[in-house]
Each structure stands twice: as C-alpha cells, then as structure tokens.
Amino acid sequence: MSSYKIIDHEYDVIVLGAGGSGLRAAVGLSEAGLKTACISKVFPTRSHTSAAQGGISASLGNMGEDDWRWHMYDTVKGSDWLGDQDAIEYMCREAVPSIVELEHYGMPFSRTEDGKIYQRPFGGHMRNFGEAPVQRACAAADRTGHAMLHTLYQQSLKHNAEFFVEYFALDLIMGDDGTCEGVVAWNLDDGTIHVFRGHQIVIATGGYGRSYFSCTSAHTCTGDGNAMALRAGLPLQDMEFVQFHPSGLYRQGILFSEAARGEGAYLLNGKGERFMETYAPSRMELAPRDIVARAEQSEMDAGRGIDGKDMIHLDLRHLGKDRIMERLPQIRQLGIDFLGIDCITDCLPIQPTAHYSMGGIPTDKYSNVILDEEGTRMKGFFAAGECACVSVHGGNRLGTNSLLEAVVFGERAGKSVLEYAVGIDYGNINEAQEKTRVLEKFEDVFQRDGSESYNDIRDEMKEIMMSHCGVFRDEERLKVCIETLNGLQERFKKGKVTDKGKLFNTEIYEILELGNMLSVAQLIATAALRRKESRGGHFRTDFPKRDDENFLHHSMVYGTPDGLVIKPKPVVITKHQPAERTY
C-alpha cells in the first residue's frame, strides 16, 4: 500500500456522479456558496443522461389542456400502484417550475410556431385521468437529455463547482456512528488515491443496465453506487423491477427513442401487422413500455418476428422526410451509422432491451437515504436519479419521467443538504483503518493471478440475466440464474489480471465494474424470485396476475453474513386506490 500516493480533500459537500441529477444538485449547492466537489468516472457531458432522447414530462399545457393531477394519476397507474404517491405528487407538482428553470438556464427546447416549448405524446400519458392522450413530453428534438446535460454542466461551471473527472469511486467512508463521511476514489490518469471528506454526501451514480447483454445503457452504467451502498450495510429497494424498452436496436441495444412512436411510428411483426391492436387496442404503440415490450416478446416467441428472428420492425416511413428530419434526426442518423438503414425509406429492426432501473438506494421524497423499512433517515447522506429509489416509478416508469426525476430530486437533494448543513462538522472516523480497508481490497484485485477470464465471467452474467431474468421470468429460470450468479461470484475471486500498471488501467477499471454488477445482478434475481406476482416490469409466467393482498409493498433487500434478506416496506397511498391497470 505504500506504493500509492494518497491525497486528502475536504469539502462541504461531495457529489458522486455528474449526470442529470448529480449536476442539478451541484448547481444548487455551488450557487448557495457551499464548497462542492463533483466526482465522475467520465467527463460530465458524457454521462448517460445524454442518451435520453424523447423528452421530459411536465403539464405545461402548451399543446392542449393539461394538469399536474392528471400527470400524477398517469404515473401512479403506470407504476402499477407500487409508486409512493407522496413522492409522485411532489415530482408532478414541481415539474412545471423545473422546466421553466431549465428554459431560463438556456436549455434549447424545440418550439411551436408561436414560440412555446414543443410537447409530444408519450406512452401512458393521458388527459382527465385516462380519458384521451395528451402531449406532455417537452422535447429538444430527439436529443433532450443531451441538451439538458450540457445546460446543467454550464450552470455548474458558472457557480464554480469543482470537478474531479475520470476518478473511479472505490468505496464509501463510514463514520463511527454509521454515517457516510466521504469516499475513496482512484484517479485513473495518474494512479493516485484520493480521500474526499464531506459534511454531506450526495450519491447520483446512475443505473445498472449493463448487467444485461442487450441494454440501452452506456458502458458506465454498472451499478457502482448501489454496490457501494450495499457494502456499507444499506438496503436496496425494489431491485426486481427492471424496465425493458420496446425499441432497442436488434442485438446491439442502442436506443431508438419512444419519441418515434410518439410522433406516430408503427410496430410491425413478421406478417406486416400492427400487432399492438391485440394487446392495447386503445393506446396501440403508445401503451406503457412494459406492456409494449411484453407484446413484442410474445410475438417473437410465437414465431412472428421478422424473418423468424427475435426482432420487430419500427416503421417511420409514413411520417415523411421533413417530419423525421425535424423531430427525429438522431434516430435517423443512428440507423444509418449502425445499420446502414435509412428510416425514411426502410424499417428499423428492434427488440426489447434492458433500459431503466426502477430499484436502487431507498430515499424519502426529500432525497434522504433511508436505512430500513420504517423510513429511518441516514444523517448527511442523500441520493437522487437512477441509482436511487424514491419510488416515483414503482413497478414501471413512464417515458419522460426519468429526466424529470433527475432534475426534480437532484434539486431536492441540494435543498436537503442546505437544510442539514447548518452547524454540521466532519464526523468521527478511524481514518487509517478506513484507508487500509479500501486499499487492501483494491490491491487484492491487482494481485490476482488465477486462471479465470473476467471477460468470460462478464459475458456469462449478461447472458444468464437476459435469458433467465428478462422480460418473462419463472421460478425455475430464476433459480438457475441465482445459482449461476453464485458460481460466477466464486470464479470472480479466481480471475487473472494481466495489466499490473497503475496509470489508466482500464482492465482493473472494468474488473471493479464487473464486481459491482455481479452484486447487483444477484439482488435483482433474488428479489424477482421472492415476488410471486406480475407487476409492471416484473412479469412471472408462473404468477401472471398482480397480487395486492400479498405483494402491495416494496422489497427491501439487505446483505447479511448469512446471505440476502428481503423485508417488506409499505407503499404510500394518498389519493388513488389500487385498480386494474388497462389501456
């Protein structure tokens, strides 16, 4: 360990992650005058938020009458009644001022002819409590996340937030009283180790889609924050709920936004039929994502995929060149770049693809991390964005609510930090012990000289998660999945490292990510086996009905010396009682 140069830092606040939620927290904190460090393993504008294409939802009413109460109802219904309604109400109320704020920050929204923010329809968004479709998704063409990310990064620079870019967070520093007091990070550029102490910590590290073979997530979405929280003794919530997007590029997973269907694209099976009429006749292609993804998988399983393969056609040809070039330019370019297919003249091959993580680090509606099913807050520790589970999405996320969640709860995390920050000093830690603990684990990876291939382990994890814990699940497949993951965990300890260098060692970087993904994958499969019902993105073919009597609760997964333990946490129901979810 003496070979490592260790550099210590002290800040008022540490923000871990520089996507939409991390940057929005950093903007608020730095604007308020707090000394703020933002740590990211990629350059902020390369964060996965930039991949969000279709829009960010808010009941502005620019394209027809709308109301935040309707938005709330759609979100509750879309969550299959597993979303916490106090948090959902907060998010939908705050949506409009959040959009106005982004506009004032300079976000380049698409505009209507009279200069208002353009809004497009999206799956599951309705007017008057389900009466008819509504245009609620505020869009910047089909590059909305990209536009938002750049806007927030510019604002954070304006207010002098300090960035530590290409720093890989190794583990959280825990205080003597169980509080989170900082983070240890590895600077990829020069191999130095950095210890960041903070009065408060905001974790915003994104999702864990890369646990699956086919996913829309960036390669950086490996569940690092979730795995660190688990190692620190925190529970994770609702990990069984993984959303599969209906339109991932066949065999590659690159996202073709729901904006395409919002603008009027068709889904066609191998017979050229618009098959959604069978599954969601009133909403067709604009049914919620979990329903559309299962419909596509059902068509493919029945042998009605394109040319008998596991793919469906996304047809935009009838929209015409002008509309595609104005509203969907990125989708067209992706088809050309990755397939050599121009969607103006030909259909795009797609398949259901792992897209969004509804589960994560449990928080309340004020972004405070909570320790148990009773909602006990952890002092000085906050989470926001996809790594968190404030449970506005429940069992299934409505399209465009992810960017909204990121900005609303990123801002809320900043406000909560400010409320907590007054009079707070650094907590007590055994600094030498904490540094030793983290560096010994880090060095252990470097010294591994076993016979197992980490690449093989990674590929096998992704394949088993896709085939046995994907769109459709059952007890037999989930048990095989868990057994396989347990075996992969043992093989992971016997891997062989070939690059022993300390400078920008991408092999070690990817091994650390793989360890995090294996931990997360075990939680997903274990929680999925425990939930013997079908709800939202979790569909059990052996339990195809929703079971409110036994499973209208969140799953809190704890890591213990004896294995994973799952405890129920009540769902917050304030206005809308559970009802049948139909479209």
The tokens for 45 are: 């504008």
In angstroms, the CA 288 to CA 397 distance is 8
> Is the pTM value of this prediction over 0.75?
yes
In angstroms, the CA 428 to CA 418 distance is 21
Tell me if 297 sits within 8 A of 248, measured CB to CB.
no
CA separation, residue 200 to residues 197, 333, 368 (Å)? 9, 42, 11
DSSP classification of residue 568: E
- Between helix 144-158 and helix 20-31 the angle, nearest 10°, is 20
Res 431: pLDDT? 67
Active site residue 251: no
Using the predicted structure, report yes or no on whether residue 1 has a pLDDT greater than 60: no
The tokens for 95 are: 């949506």
Q: What mean pLDDT is reported for the chain?
A: 93
In angstroms, the CA 55 to CA 50 distance is 12
Sorted by sequence, the CB contacts under 8 Å of residue 302 that are 6+ apart come out as none
In angstroms, the CA 104 to CA 60 distance is 15
The tokens for 472 are: 């459709």
Using the predicted structure, report yes or no on whether residue 472 has a pLDDT greater than 90: yes
The tens digit of pLDDT for each residue in 480-504 reads 999 999 999 999 999 999 998 888 8
The tens digit of pLDDT for each residue in 80-129 reads 999 999 999 999 999 999 999 999 999 999 999 999 999 999 888 999 99
Identified catalytic residue from 136, 289, 412, 491: 289
